Each structure stands twice: as structure tokens, then as C-alpha cells.
Amino acid sequence: MSMISDSSAVLELQRILPQHQSAITLLNNMVQDPCINEIKWLDLACGKGQIISQLKENLSDNNRKKIIYDGYDINVEFTKIASRIASNLELRQYRFNHGDLSNFAVVLGVEKEFDFITCTNVAHELHPNAFVSLVLDSFKRLTSSGQLFIYDMESLTTPELGAFPLRGNEITSLLNTIFECLNTVYRVHASVWSHKTCKGWSIIINRAHISIENEIFDKEKKAITNKIKLKIDDIIQSRCKECVDLLTTYTIYGADTAEDEQLKLVALYEFWALHYARGGK
Ligand SMILES: C[S@@+](CC[C@H](N)C(=O)[O-])C[C@H]1O[C@@H](n2cnc3c(N)ncnc32)[C@H](O)[C@@H]1O
């Protein structure tokens, strides 16, 4: 896995983003369980801590004290900011670890399991192969009742060079390919959300619903990887055709309106992202 240099992380202390609101709602449900004293939460590619920035308002004092938060990111400067936020939340414990996402299980300890794993606004920054591999590694790190919450945009308001935003239907098809290979009847469906400036998708995966042991994941990993690679090649090919058709139209007829200009720009970024993704990074 490698990082794109246009990668950035937002931190707006005055507002909560809808994807973070959804994640915290799930978390609130977990910490409200009176039988539970401790929730282990792993926030993959946590950035500057936007998701925890309003936790004091979102969760009760007592329930925040149940949380053991692990933030993980490659960018040390980002996690310094997140750590400052976490230090004011009176959590049971918090830690930040650094490294590439492909290595998170090793950095955190391969036996470690989490009740809640979040991965928000990250998928577009990874090659789809790397993203699916991250999802597989995350399944294995869930406790038997653990939940994985993933959210990403279908298109970026500010385009980033090399970013490849997957669409809701593509992520649904990729993840269900994994479940087919695992021979389970479990299937997911990405919810697609139309926001004011972009569309996004979210997936929630509950480990209890998959009912597959880690050994089966390991046994099937090669078959899954091979099948996923073929699926991703198909996605790239079909998106390439779409993109080339659009750019051909603009080349011949021009982009007349401001909206056309914007679509042309997005298509040019997409063209580069597809070329980059074809390199298999
Ligand atoms: C758009 S930010 C999202 C931050 C946070 N999850 C949020 O929702 O606000 C993407 C984050 O992914 C991190 N990142 C990108 N590629 C990574 C990689 N290969 N390994 C680890 N972190 C990575 C970046 O450093 C950045 O903090």
C-alpha cells in the first residue's frame, strides 16, 4: 500500500460530518449496554480526530469511560492533533499507533481484537486491491460480536491526484464476492447517501452475522484475492470506457457550461486515477 500525496484530513470542531454521526450512533448503542464495561474501538486512518471531536456531547461521561480508543494513521502530525482531542475526553484509555494500513494488524499485535472498527473517508486513497485486503484484515480483528463501519465518498468535492473513489454498487459487489468465496449466505448492501456536494456510501458489517472462523479466512485468502483482482480489473475497465466516452464527447463538442467544465475536470482526474490503478499499486 502506498499513500497519495494529495491525502488530507479535515478537522472542523464546530460540526460533525454525517458519516461520523452514523459511526458514533452505533458506538453509543454499544456503550449504553449496562452489561458492558469496556469497548475496544479501532479507528483506522483516524486522521486529525474529526470523529472524536464532539464525543463529549455525543456520549455520556460514564459511557466515554468505557472506551479504549486506538487511533491508527500513517501521518504522525495528524495523530498529534487527534491525541490532543482524545486527552480531553476522559476515555478509559487511548493510544495512537503509526504505520501503513497494510500493516496495522502487525503494528497493533496480531492477536488483538476490537468491538468496533471504523474506517471513514479512506477507501478512495487506496488502490481497490489494498482496500479489500484491509477489509479482510479488519474482519479478522473483530470480536465475535464486533462491528466494522466503513464510509467513503463516490466522488470528491476537491479532486485528489491518484484517488480512486469506489461506488456503492462496486463495493457491494466486491464484498459479496468475498462472502461467496467464504461459502456463507451473508451478503452486504452499501447504503448510498446523496449529500449536498457529493454522494457517499456506507457499510456496516457485524461479525456475528458472518459466523466464519479466522482460519477459514486464512484458508480462502488466496482464492479471494484472485477473484477480487479479476473483479477489480472489470471495474477499472468499465470505468475506463465510461471516462473515455465522456472525455471524447468533451474533446469533440467542448464543455459549454460550468457544470460541464466541472465534469470534465473530474473525468480528467478519474482518467489519471484509472491509469494509476492499472499499475496495481
Ligand atoms: C481523508 S483522511 C480521513 C481521516 C478520518 N478517518 C476522518 O474520517 O476524518 C484519510 C486518512 O488516511 C490516512 N492514510 C492514507 N493512506 C494511508 C495508508 N496507506 N496507511 C495509513 N494511513 C493512511 C491519511 O494520513 C489520512 O489521515
Return the CATH number of the domain spanning residue range 18-229: 3.40.50.150
**Cα of 45 from ligand 1 centre, angstroms:** 4
Whole-number pLDDT of residue 10: 84
C-alpha cell read off for 37: 464495561
Q: Do residues 190 and 137 make contact, with C-beta atoms less than 8 angstroms apart?
A: no
**Cα of 163 from ligand 1 centre, angstroms:** 12
Q: Which residue has the cell 478519474?
A: 270
**Cα of 140 from ligand 1 centre, angstroms:** 21
Residue to substitute in 4, 7, 150 for testing ligand 1 pocket (most ligand atoms within 8 angstroms of CB): 7
Q: Atom 16 (ligand 1): residue with closest C-alpha?
A: 3
Q: What angle do CA 24, 141, 8 make, to 5 degrees?
A: 55
264 φ/ψ angles, rounded to the nearest 5 degrees: -65, -45
Q: Atom 17 (ligand 1): residue with closest C-alpha?
A: 3
- Cα-trace Rg, the chain: 19
3 lines ligand 1 (CB under 6 A): yes
Paired strand residues for 19: none
Q: Do residues 212 and 185 make contact, with C-beta atoms less than 8 angstroms apart?
A: no
**Cα of 47 from ligand 1 centre, angstroms:** 5
**Cα of 122 from ligand 1 centre, angstroms:** 5
Q: What is the pLDDT along the chain (281 residues), one digit of tens a residue?
A: 667 787 888 898 888 899 999 999 999 999 999 999 999 999 999 999 999 999 999 999 999 999 999 999 999 999 999 999 999 999 999 999 999 999 999 999 988 999 999 999 999 999 999 999 999 999 999 999 999 999 999 989 888 999 999 999 999 999 999 999 999 999 999 999 999 888 999 999 999 999 899 999 999 999 999 999 999 999 999 999 999 999 999 999 999 999 999 999 999 999 999 999 998 55
Whole-number pLDDT of residue 26: 98
Whole-number pLDDT of residue 273: 95
Residue limits of CATH 3.40.50.150 in the chain: 18-229
123 lines ligand 1 (CB under 6 A): no
Q: Do residues 165 and 154 make contact, with C-beta atoms less than 8 angstroms apart?
A: yes
Q: Measured between alpha carbons, how far is residue 240 from residues 22, 124, 261 in Å?
A: 33, 16, 19
Whole-number pLDDT of residue 281: 55
**Cα of 181 from ligand 1 centre, angstroms:** 29
Whole-number pLDDT of residue 161: 94
Helix (H, G, I), strand (E, B) or coil at 149: strand
pTM of the model: 0.96
147 lines ligand 1 (CB under 6 A): no
What proportion of the chain, given as a percentage, has pLDDT over 70? Answer: 99
